[in-house]
Amino acid sequence: MRILECMYHQYLSCALGWLEIRATDRACVRVLFVDAPQGAERPNAITRLAVQQLQEYMDRRRQIFELPIEMLGSPFQKKVWQALLQIPYGSTMSYLVLSQLLGDEKAIRAVAQANGSNPLPIIVPCHRVVGSDGSLTGYSGGIWRKKWLLQHEQPWVQTKLDI
């Protein structure tokens, strides 16, 4: 991001609470979990597109995000975040498997740390990474949000009707 580049932001109220979406003129750069809107919105075309697509995701009408994103971080973090984009909707992967896919199973702690510092949660699906035993390990938005997101992505199951 260029130092003099304008930053725009917009809020979305959803099942996970309030989200603040930040963007430049070129890309969405940040999604934050916030307690409430903080000041007046300053939207642009990219924040509006991100809000629309996040709402579609919440309404189960979208599984893949199609908006310009810019992931601001170290080369290693960006490598991890790019790998997260390959985890399909409704699927999970362990930190160990993710580390192996990135070519170094011993980098599991560094992978977990990069996963936890993902600037675009939900859009870059860090919630899909779980412990090797399937446990829900840390999530920047709180474990309850991670659990909600994973359950949200599971296929709808018809319950048995007693007739």
Annotate 141-153 with DSSP letters as a single string: T-HHHHHHHHHHT
Q: Do 126 and 139 meet the contact criterion of CB atoms below 8 Å apart?
A: yes
Centroid of chain to Cα 162: 39
**Crossing angle for the helix pair 108-116 and 75-84, to the nearest 10 degrees:** 80
Residue among 17, 29, 1, 26 at smallest CA distance from 9 = 29
**The tokens 């992931």 sit on which residue?**
71
Spatial separation of the C-alpha atoms in residues 108 and 111, rounded to whole Å: 5
Residues catalogued as catalytic: 126
Phi, psi of 41 (to 5 degrees): -70, 155
Spatial separation of the C-alpha atoms in residues 24 and 1, rounded to whole Å: 8
